[in-house]
Amino acid sequence: MSTRTLNASDHRVILCMKWGTKYGPEYVNRLYAMVRRHLLGDFQFVCLTDRTEGIRSEVECFPIPLLNLPDGLPERGWKKLTTFSADLHGLHGTALFLDLDVVITDSIDCFFEYPGEFLIIHDWKRPWRVTGNSSVYRFKIGAHADVLTEFLATQEAIRKKFRNEQAYLSDVLHRQGHLQYWPAEWCKSYKYHCIPAWPSNYWRAPFIPDKARILIFHGEVNPPDALNGNRNRRWRYMRTAPWIATHWCE
């Protein structure tokens, strides 16, 4: 199906980002396949990346805009801020950014229909804070270029004040009155919401929470780990989740 037939006013863009070697092209390819299964109509799928080899032809690849970060910094997601460039490779319309390691389990049409200027996941662990989880966020391309401009002008001070990109991003947009959150049931953490609580995690398998549409993998578990029941942390156990293969596939 063509991905370039929408009018400018309703053009939908799926954005993802891949740099380095942590995630292979199969993550991009499977993300595209999940979106294609769960998003009705036309869309443009874009990957900002420094490595295009192995990525399927339906995905449009562009370089990640330069951020001029100092060498040796720990990974904190700062490169995601480049999605707010005033001119992002000439792209236009409404963008839904998805992390490479999410698993889509149900329709995501609603992520383009839900009202709001900027939408992000509200942090599950500390909901009293304004900080969002940037695994899934939506914005109009080019509308929040000041987020990136401010970072480029004062990045050293920002990196000292904020632990990562999503903390800074949430703070800026909250101060501007633009920050809003997805309905809580749409985006669920695999670690917090899918793995049964101790001690039932030893006999109960992980499950998809009711009404969940996108599962977020963060910390010590990613989709292959969930599929095989491997948890990269001592003294914590989870059973295999064979149903991951039904969703996380091409």
Domain tally, the chain? 2
Within a domain: 63: yes
How does residue 8 score in pLDDT terms, banded at 50, 70 and 90?
Answer: very low
Instruction: Compute CA distances 130 → 122, 124, 145, 174, 177, whole Å.
Output: 7, 11, 20, 7, 12
Residues 121 and 237 in one domain: no
Residues 173 and 191 in one domain: no
What integer best gives the mean pLDDT of the chain? 92
Residues 35 and 57 in one domain: yes
Instruction: Compute CA distances 36 → 57, 65, 241, whole Å.
Output: 14, 26, 23
Within a domain: 208: yes
Within a domain: 2: no
Within a domain: 161: yes
Residues 240 and 191 in one domain: yes
Residues 207 and 151 in one domain: no
pLDDT tens-digit profile of 207-229? 999 999 999 998 888 999 999 99
Residues 172 and 76 in one domain: yes
Within a domain: 116: yes
CATH assignment at residue 165: 3.90.550.10
Q: Which run of H or E residues covers position 120?
A: strand 118-122
Q: Who has greater pLDDT, 166 or 127?
A: 166
Residues 15 and 98 in one domain: yes
Within 13 Å of residue 117, how many CA atoms lie on the same side as its CB? 9
Domain boundary among 181, 213, 239: 181
Domain boundary among 139, 162, 181: 181
pLDDT tens-digit profile of 46-80? 999 999 999 999 999 999 999 988 776 767 889 99
End-to-end alpha carbon distance in the chain: 16
Nearest CA-CA partner of 111 in 180, 18, 170, 58: 180
Domain boundary among 134, 149, 181: 181
Confidence (pLDDT) at 4: 35
Nearest CA-CA partner of 63 in 108, 7, 18, 2: 18
Residues 163 and 205 in one domain: no
How does residue 187 score in pLDDT terms, banded at 50, 70 and 90?
Answer: very high
Within a domain: 32: yes
Within a domain: 144: yes
Residue 204's domain spans which residues? 187-247
Within a domain: 1: no
Residues 202 and 143 in one domain: no
Residues 19 and 131 in one domain: yes
Residues 173 and 192 in one domain: no
pTM score, two decimals?
Answer: 0.93
Q: Specify burial of residue 174 (Cβ count, 10 A radius: 0-12, 13-18, 19+).
A: middle
What are 138's two structure tokens?
């939506």
Confidence (pLDDT) at 222: 93
Residues 114 and 228 in one domain: no
